[in-house]
Amino acid sequence: MIEKVTERFIRYAKAYTSSNPESKSFPSTKQQQVFMRQLEKELKSIGLSEVDLDENGYLMATIPANGYDKGPVPGFIAHVDTSPDFEGKDVDPQIIRQYDGNPIHLKNGVTIDPADFPEILNYKGQDIITSDGTTLLGADDKAGVAEIITAAEILLNNNKIKHGRIRIAFTPDEEIGKGADKFDVKKFGADFAYTLDGGEIGELEYENFNAAGARITINGRSVHPGYAKNKMINAVLAGHKIISMLPPGMRPEHTEGYDGFYHLLSFKGNVEKAEMQYIIRDHDEIKFEEKKKLIREIVQLINIEYGREVVKMEIKDQYYNMRKMLEPVMYIVDIARLAMERAGVKPIIKAIRGGTDGARLSYEGLPCPNLFAGGHNFHGPFEFIPIPSMIKAIEVILNIAELSKKQ
């Protein structure tokens, strides 16, 4: 099992699958579809049935039942794209054998130092995989892909683990918020599912942020600065007013746990025109609505100050907290908790400070908590994943497969 999942993960990590938020195609990049075709061949080669890759880049397959045909059908889901926020091409995974607790020095001056990332000391003595420091690693979510496929192969070849019909799926474009856009829940045919898209070993999550995105356009007025009195409207300074009027304590760098935030993603422009992008997050539905209301009021106040519509804003909800949809079926969270305990893993139940495909799928009729895949420091060169954490993720999948037949 160790050799299989390690080989798979390294092979998958080397595949270039970054998504592109500016693309109008679906999937957003051709390289995701190329990788999906490779996975399609692999799933068929190991003996999975009903292997289907559709035109939108969704790959689904079935692990047939081995004696329990009447039970509920669980599913396991992971996404193949890596974050476009950091280079994901030419990934060169490194295995750090029996990590000794010292800083790990990679290329480009990148150092995974316990002084900065103390959690790595929890894996002292274990084999750890990193990138070479020039790219991200892609454990988000190539680890989940490797773990699901390795578990599927074990279930196909081990009749001692009794289970019902199981569905698996791999999705594109999760990193740009589109992973569930064209997911066919009815076609998938599972009663519930689990995304393997979490971080450290033990994570079990059934809450996530409510999320919205705000696009702000500021139309200024440019005149000669020597004759600008009562005439110039500096779009950049108007944007700065928006920043200064939002609570500074509600920025991501000052929040944790159940704290929500406003995150300024980008701000570009000049005197004549400026553009800003914010994301708005909160686990609590009421506070989420209050945050959206506040930024609308700020925009309105600035327009009143200038006596014209200088600022235009469009807010779109992106996804919602899946807890609302999972509370009626909490037994599937209990299955995951018990599966972890049987694998000798202590469940770490916490709210996701982000979102997953599972959040949106839960609102589309597929209850879908999130499980750990084992990685740390996603989306950058400091990313790492301990190999034993991947092994435990596989054990959890196998346990869920067996426990689900009893429901």
CATH number at 9 reads: 3.40.630.10
Average pLDDT, the chain: 95
Q: Assess whether 98 and 20 both reside in one domain.
A: yes
Q: Assess whether 200 and 243 both reside in one domain.
A: no
> Where among 318, 353, 386 does a domain terminate?
318
* Phi-psi region at 295: left, alpha or beta (left = phi > 0; alpha = psi -120 to 50): alpha
Residue span of the structural domain in which 271 resides: 210-318
CA distances from 20 to 28, 277, 336, 363 (A): 6, 17, 33, 25
Indicate whether 183 pLDDT > 80. yes
> Where among 303, 318, 333 does a domain terminate?
318
> Where among 283, 300, 318 does a domain terminate?
318
Chain center to CA of 132: 22
Which CATH number do you get for residue 251? Answer: 3.30.70.360
Q: Structural domain tally of the chain?
A: 2
Q: Assess whether 229 and 150 both reside in one domain.
A: no
Global confidence as pTM:
0.88
* Cα dihedral 111/115/120/124 (nearest 10): 100
Which pLDDT tens digit goes with each residue over 22-46?
A: 899 999 999 999 999 999 999 999 9
CB-based contacts of 380, cutoff 8 Å, min separation 6: 85, 86, 136
Q: How far apart are CA 85 and CA 372, in angstroms?
A: 22
Q: Assess whether 170 and 284 both reside in one domain.
A: no
Chain center to CA of 81: 10
Q: Assess whether 195 and 115 both reside in one domain.
A: yes
- Find the mean pLDDT for residues 386-399: 98
- Find the mean pLDDT for residues 238-263: 96
Residue 256 bears catalytic tag? no
User: 65-79, 269-283, 340-354: which range is least confident on average?
Assistant: 65-79
Model pLDDT, residue 407: 60
- Find the mean pLDDT for residues 376-395: 96
Which backbone phi and psi does 232 adopt, to 5 degrees? -70, 140
Residue of 40, 81, 205, 207 with catalytic role: 81
Q: How far apart are CA 263 and CA 278, in angstroms?
A: 5
Q: How far apart are CA 96 and CA 130, in angstroms?
A: 8
What are the residue ranges of helices labelled H in 158-209?
A: 185-188
Q: Assess whether 376 and 287 both reside in one domain.
A: no
Q: Assess whether 65 and 201 both reside in one domain.
A: yes
Q: Assess whether 354 and 285 both reside in one domain.
A: no
Residue of 40, 141, 147, 174 with catalytic role: 174
CB-based contacts of 74, cutoff 8 Å, min separation 6: 164, 166, 167, 190, 191, 192, 193, 194, 400, 401, 404
Indicate whether 236 pLDDT > 70. yes
Chain center to CA of 314: 24
At residue 278, the 3 state secondary structure works out as strand
Q: Assess whether 199 and 232 both reside in one domain.
A: no
Q: How far apart are CA 381 and CA 87, in angstroms?
A: 9
Model pLDDT, residue 250: 97
Q: Assess whether 311 and 383 both reside in one domain.
A: no
Q: Assess whether 312 and 353 both reside in one domain.
A: no
Residue 113 bears catalytic tag? no
For the chain, give the percent of residues with pLDDT over 70. Answer: 100
Which pLDDT tens digit goes with each residue over 69-127?
A: 778 999 999 999 999 988 899 999 999 999 999 999 999 999 999 999 999 999 999 99
Q: Assess whether 159 and 252 both reside in one domain.
A: no
